[in-house]
């Protein structure tokens, strides 16, 4: 079984710079990069199954890159927590792409990672290495339902203390069962990279993200969310990349009406829905993986 290598890129910020980690799969010399960007409290190892499948299908012709967005996983934490916002994440991705220098760029973004992708793909004046060819938006659109934001706010910043990986997995399942059916082994595989030991030497575990992520999130209001939606629709309408929209059929974050609107404007996305799944598909199930492979590589696995 193949595994990724851990790499880093320096990203500028008002305090100087911070380091963003990324997990790299496949041929490090390939000009075809698939950038996989995770959700709000997740990290790049979420994409292990689909990254491995992409590399197996495309052979030596692909490089799959899965960053840990700043404040998560192996990446630095920001000195100023108010920097944990989409425009700054997009700037970090541009620094990463400048280091990678892809000739072909495809983007797979789950939830927050999709919002970052919309900002990048909807920007008209970026260098050639940042031009998105194909865009996969996983259970996210310009409109994020307010009740979903309220649900996320209930747990964001509470990184917990756990006696074992199994206890952590059970606790996370309580807040993330909307991800859909998983075997215990699959769920543990998704949970394990999210954990780190406490610094007290007790052997207990906690979630591996900066609790201060909750600070800018806590300042959201319905009015500021509406302003953000207007800006995201502007970005979406400027997207020229061929776009696939994936949706959990029971999603509380991406409403069916928003998904339908995304089929009619901007890049006029193609929609695939997964029954029995809410927010958000994890690309552990075969049908979810196949949807990505078919869209990015076609049936033959060629570019």
> Residue 298's pLDDT band (boundaries 50, 70, 90)?
confident
Residue pair 18/70 in contact by the 8 Å Cβ criterion: yes
Asked if residue 248 belongs to a domain, the reply is yes
166 Cβ contact list (under 8 Å, min separation 6): 188
What pLDDT shows up at residue 214? 97
For residue range 141-153, what is the model confidence (pLDDT) as tens digits?
999 999 999 999 9
Cβ neighbours of residue 94 closer than 8 Å, sequence gap 6 or more: 120, 126, 130
CA distance 139 to 210: 24
Residue 180 within any structural domain of the chain: no
- Indicate the burial class of 200 (C-beta count within 10 angstroms; 0-12, 13-18, 19 or more): exposed
Q: Looking at the domain assignment, is residue 64 inside a domain?
A: yes
Number of domains present in the structure of the chain: 1
Residue 299: its pLDDT value, please?
A: 52
Is residue 128 one of the residues assigned to a domain?
yes
Q: Is residue 156 part of a domain?
A: no
Are the C-beta atoms of 242 and 267 separated by less than 8 Å?
A: yes
Q: Which pLDDT does position 303 carry in this prediction?
A: 41
CATH number assigned to the domain comprising residue 109:
3.40.50.1820
pLDDT value of residue 301:
39
- pLDDT value, residue 22: 98
47 — phi, psi (to 5°)?
-100, 15
Provide Rg for the chain, Cα atoms. Answer: 18
Indicate the pLDDT class of residue 124, thresholds 50, 70 and 90: confident
13-62 per-position pLDDT tens digit? 988 899 999 999 999 999 999 999 999 999 999 999 999 999 999 989 99
Cis-peptide, bond into residue 193, ω within 30° of zero: no
- DSSP lists the bridge partners of residue 247 as 273
What is the average pLDDT across 106-118?
98
What is the per-residue pLDDT across 235-268, written as a single tens digit (0 to 9) for each? 999 999 999 999 999 999 999 999 999 999 999 9
The per-residue pLDDT for range 93-109, each reduced to its tens digit, is 999 999 999 999 999 99
- E strand or H helix at 259, and its extent? helix 256-264
Mean pLDDT of 264-279: 98
- Tell me: the pLDDT tens digits for 193-217? 999 999 999 999 999 999 999 999 9
Look over the chain and give the mean of its residue pLDDT values, rounded to a whole number.
96
Per the structure, the complete domain to which residue 16 belongs is given by: 5-145+225-297
243's tokens: 């776009």
Please give the average per-residue pLDDT across 62-78, as a whole number: 98
Q: Classify residue 58 as left (phi > 0), alpha (psi -120 to 50) or beta.
A: alpha
Is 141 a domain residue? yes
């Amino acid at each position: 079984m193949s595994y990724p290598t851990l790499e880093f890129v320096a990203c500028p910020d008002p305090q100087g710079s911070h380091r963003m980690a990324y997990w790299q799969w496949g041929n490090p010399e390939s000009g075809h990069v698939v950038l996989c960007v995770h959700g709000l409290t997740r990290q790049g190892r979420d994409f292990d199954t689909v990254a491995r499948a992409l590399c197996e299908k495309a052979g030596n012709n692909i490089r799959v890159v899965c960053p840990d967005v700043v404040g998560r996983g192996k990446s630095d934490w920001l000195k100023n927590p108010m920097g944990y916002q989409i425009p700054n994440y997009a700037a970090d991705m541009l620094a990463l792409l400048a280091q990678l220098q892809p000739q072909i760029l495809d983007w797979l973004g789950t939830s927050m990672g999709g919002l970052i992708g919309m900002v990048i793909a909807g920007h008209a004046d970026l260098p050639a290495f940042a031009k998105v060819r194909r865009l996969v938006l996983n259970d996210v659109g310009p409109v994020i339902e307010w009740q979903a934001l309220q649900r996320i706010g209930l747990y964001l910043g509470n990184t917990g203390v756990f006696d074992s990986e199994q206890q952590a997995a059970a606790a996370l399942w309580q807040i993330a069962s909307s991800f859909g059916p998983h075997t215990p082994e699959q769920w543990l595989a998704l949970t394990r990279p999210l954990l780190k030991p406490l610094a007290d030497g007790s052997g207990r575990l906690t979630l591996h993200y900066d609790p201060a992520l909750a600070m800018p999130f806590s300042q959201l209001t319905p009015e500021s969310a509406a302003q953000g939606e207007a800006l995201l629709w502007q970005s979406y309408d400027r997207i020229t990349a061929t776009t696939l929209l994936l949706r959990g059929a029971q999603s509380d974050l991406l409403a069916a009406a928003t998904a339908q609107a995304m089929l009619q404007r901007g890049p006029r996305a193609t929609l695939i829905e997964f029954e029995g799944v809410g927010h958000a598909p994890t690309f552990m199930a075969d049908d979810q993986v196949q949807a990505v492979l078919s869209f990015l590589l076609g049936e033959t696995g060629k570019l």
